[in-house]
Chain A
Amino acid sequence: MANTQSMVTSFLSELMLGQHQLGTSTIVSRGSLTAPTTDTVKAALYLASATVNASTTAYSATGEVSGSGYTAGGVTVTNANAPTSTNASSTAGVGYWTPSASIVYTAVTLATAFDAVLIYNSTQSNKAISVHTFGSQSITAGTFTLTMPASTTTTALIRLATT
Chain B
Amino acid sequence: MIVTTTKGDMDDSQLEKREGTVDDENEFTTWVEYWLDGELVHRSAHVTLKKMPTFAGGVAASF
- A143 B44 Cβ-Cβ under 8 A: yes
Nearest Cβ distance between residue B13 and chain A, in whole angstroms? 18
Is B1 at the interface (CB under 8 A from chain A)?
Answer: no
- Taking a contact as CB atoms under 8 Å apart, the answer to whether A157 and B59 are in contact is no
Contact with B along A124-149 (1 / 0, CB 8 A): 00000010111101111111111111
Interface hits, B29-57 → A, CB 8 Å: 29, 31, 33, 40-53, 55, 57
Known: A142-B42, A162-B63. A155 touches B29 (CB 8 A): no
Checking B4, B27, B41, B42 against A134 with a beta-carbon cut-off of 8 angstroms, the contacting residue is B27
A159 in contact with B49 (CB, 8 Å)? no
* Count of CB-CB pairs between chains A and B under 8 Å: 99
Nearest residue, chain A, Cβ from B46: A145
Q: Which residues of A sit under 8 angstroms from B47, Cβ to Cβ?
A: 134-135, 137, 144-147
- The distance from the CB of A86 to the nearest CB of chain B, in whole angstroms, is 14
What bracket does the count of chain B residues touching chain A fall in? 20 to 34
Q: Which of A83-116 contact B (CB under 8 A)?
A: 94, 107, 109
Secondary structure of the A side of the interface? strand
* Distance to closest chain B CB from A9 (angstroms): 9
A159-B5 in contact given A139-B43, A140-B43, A149-B50 (Cβ < 8 Å)? no
Q: How many residues of A contact B (CB 8 A)?
A: 35
Q: How far is the CB of B54 from chain A (nearest CB, A)?
A: 9
Chain B CB count within 10 A is highest, among A107, A130, A148, A149, for A149
Bound complex: CA of A145 vs CA of B53, how far in Å? 20
Q: Is the CB–CB distance between A163 and B27 below 8 Å? A: no
> What is the bound-complex CA distance between A34 and B57, given in angstroms?
41
Known contacts A145-B45, A149-B49; 5 additional CB pairs below 8 A are A5-B53, A135-B22, A144-B44, A149-B52, A159-B59
List the 9 closest pairs (A to B, CB-CB), nearest first: A142-B44, A161-B59, A159-B60, A155-B51, A140-B43, A147-B48, A145-B46, A134-B47, A143-B44
Q: Footprint of B on A, CB under 8 Å?
A: 5-7, 12, 94, 107, 109, 130, 132-135, 137-149, 154-163
